[in-house]
Structure 1
Amino acid sequence: MAERIFALDIGTRSVTGLLLEKSNDTYTVLDYCTIEHHTRSMLDGQIHHVMEVAAVMKEVKENLDKKHGPLPRVSAAAAGRSLITQRASAAFELNEDVISNSDTIRHLELSAVHKAQNQLTENQKGKRGFSQQYYCVGYSVLTYKLDEEPIGSLIDQRGYLASVEIIATFLPRVVVESLFAALERSNLELENLTLEPIAAINVLIPVSMRRLNVVLVDIGAGTSDIAITDSGAITAYGMVPIAGDEITEAISDEFLLDFPIAEKTKRMIANEGEATVTDILGFETTVTKAMLVERIQPSINKLADAISGEIINLNGKLPKAVMLVGAAVSLLT
């Protein structure tokens, strides 16, 4: 029997609910619903007003409930606000025994995640205000090894020592707990939690492409999330707290527009090439894409510099390719 999955992407600008059906290894999208936040209740990927965000989440859920029946459990993707990553390894002796099930490998991976948590705690000691304030929200396997040699899978392998290296991602407690509070107010039980860049890279960059040093940048409203692949694995995650909202604020400042009007103007110009707007003083102006880009170029450069700087910091070199996704991309390219 096919399994139904309800997922929420809780973004700075909007909440999207996705209903899927899983059959074997195939996913079919049954329905989706996107509703924008009525106020700026989220900034830079952080929930600032739990009740307002919860109201939008509940509205999305109820729209899908009406057509598909009750959806009490949800898988959620969190924005990478103040993301910290930590690498760690774990190993255990096989003594020529065979690993015959995935549960053993899962236990090995989680042992590495636990080590990453301890290392993060140790690294943060002495920093002001730190007291177990980070939650692990996901991890990726960098490599498996059998007797110190890289191997694709440990299942049914025989040797003396099995090990794994992972990269774990952590978010501040306030980010995660505000998300939990919003889900609780929406009458939703959290089934799975992941990070937006982890979800994005698993959809857009398949395993067969990960031997290439490729960077995926998801430019949202509040954060620009980064994921990097190289040598067959996901090697780094990162974020910068600068994204589409900074572009909208620059449009608002430059053309004297209220923020919601500036956001509509940005979208219209991205889709149609120009927009006619009336500023707060009542003056009407037709803004073309070329005019817009010229007037807000410093803000575009600031966003591009922040993203490129974080890529070099994470990757240590220029990547082979950069893939950009997100509504603000058309103004940056």
Structure 2
Amino acid sequence: MFVSKFLCKNDQNSILYKKKRLRFSAKSEGRKMSEEKKEEEEEALKTLEIENGLRLVPRVKLNLVIYPSTPLTLSHPIDEWKTKRALIDFLHTSLSLTLPEEDLHLTRHKNLKKRKRDDPVAAGTLRVWDLSFLPTTNRYLEWRNRLAENLNGIELNLEGVKFKLAVTVPASDDFNSMKKEWEEHSAFRSVGEPDTVVLRGMPSRWFAEPRVSSKPSMLVTHTILSTFGKIRNLNVGEDNEYGKDESENSGDLVSGLYCKIVVQFDKYKDCHDAIRVLCGRSMQKQGSRLKADYEVSWDKDRFFRNSRNQSEDKNSMASSSAADNYRSEASRRHGPENVRPRRFKE
């Protein structure tokens, strides 16, 4: 009886001990996740140095589109300078944010004949480079999203005409949404986690071999992107489609200015971390004041697998064509009209 009670008591103590361990483990796991999230938030505010004199500079970027509050036919384009001043004044007075004029870019709709009554009259981007007012413990993403919410839907009165502002966070800057998208894609398609990053809008000359060519170099690109992890496959080339609409509006279309990079990493974690770090930043070259925006995304189209299949198809077609040519040539050479007559001894 005593032994039975002793065993029961031991069992109860064991259960209590296990519960405490589970609670402690859960708390430790929660603390670990909290610390990792805090590190990511602090990292989002840091400038990261990478290879070849390049660095990734944090910033907040928002896309702006200006619509008339009611469908409207314009007789002349809106005044860009007055629109900028109205937005900058609103940021300063309502949100206590001082924004230099050069950090607000607007392009008005110039061809009014093609514009419909409810089409936007202008579009552009707002960038906040100075994030020093944010304490490192502050949640960078929450502040950015709150800024977008506060600006979205405000009315601007320009020369007696009311316009409405639509504000969004660029898809290329929204890492959490991007990650959710690829997780759903992987689950739905029953494919593995992504390991390939697609970069557009990178300045070609920053990825070129100095004093050799202005075109992007595979070797230089590999050196730069190896910062993020071991690379399995790499493709780089000119991207003349990037920024084409904006360049056409400004009349300044330069071929070969940008390059497109598709890089496949050995590990999913390296791909994940590369996208997370590249989101919400612009690239800057040492000694240059230019800060280049770019678009980062994950590869939905399985670029390297499709490229390999296309290459195999081309090789197969080439082999088939060569075989057909060989058979045709053989037939021509050994056809009835080309058969040499037999010689008989007389």
Q: TM-score, normalised by structure 2?
A: 0.19
Instruction: Work out which structure has the larger RCO, using CA pairs closer than 8 Å and 6 or more positions apart in sequence.
Output: 2
Q: Which has the larger radius of gyration?
A: 2
Q: TM-score, normalised by structure 1?
A: 0.20
Q: Which structure has the highest strand share of the two?
A: 1
Q: Which structure has the highest helix share of the two?
A: 2
